[in-house]
Amino acid sequence: MSSDSRFTDHARKEMDEEQLGCIKVEEVLQIIETGEIIEQYLDDTPYSSCLILGYTRSGRPLHLVCAPVSAEERLIVITTYQPDTNRWDPDLRRRKR
């Protein structure tokens, strides 16, 4: 499904303005291919979505919130960011409490 990905305007803005350095489309595509779903948001509308954690080839951790749209064979990238270790546990899978 990653062969047909669409980036929302919000995702593009977040990629450009990421505090820890601009996120490139190539990096997002790497995460789509190799990342792991760590949370699911089944009640999101208009599509269910999920949070993916992955590492780029250079080892950069990224989180992506995506909505797979099976009927259209498309993946919508809603947002992406580099997780802040001050807000996430060391494994970057859970928010700190």
Nearest to 12 by CA among 26, 31, 25, 30: 25
> What average pLDDT score do residues 38-58 get?
95
Tokens of 5: 């990905």
Q: Spell out the residues 6+ positions from residue 11 whose beta carbon is closer than 8 angstroms to its own.
A: 77, 78, 79, 80
Strand partners, 68: 75
pLDDT for 51 equals 96
| Within a domain: 94 | no
Report, in angstroms and rounded to the nearest whole number, the Rg of the chain calculated over CA atoms. Answer: 13
Task: Evaluate if residue 92 carries a pLDDT over 90.
Answer: yes
The number of domains in the chain is 1
Task: Evaluate if residue 23 carries a pLDDT over 80.
Answer: yes
Task: Evaluate if residue 4 carries a pLDDT over 90.
Answer: no
| Within a domain: 34 | yes
| Within a domain: 15 | yes
pTM of the model: 0.89
Integer Cα distance of 76 and 48 in angstroms: 11
Task: Evaluate if residue 79 carries a pLDDT over 60.
Answer: yes
| Within a domain: 71 | yes
Query: Domain holding 36: CATH number?
Result: 3.30.2310
pLDDT for 1 equals 40
| Within a domain: 88 | no
Backbone phi, psi, residue 30, to 5°: -60, -40
For residue 11, the enclosing domain spans 5-81
Integer Cα distance of 38 and 17 in angstroms: 24
Tell me the average pLDDT of the chain: 92
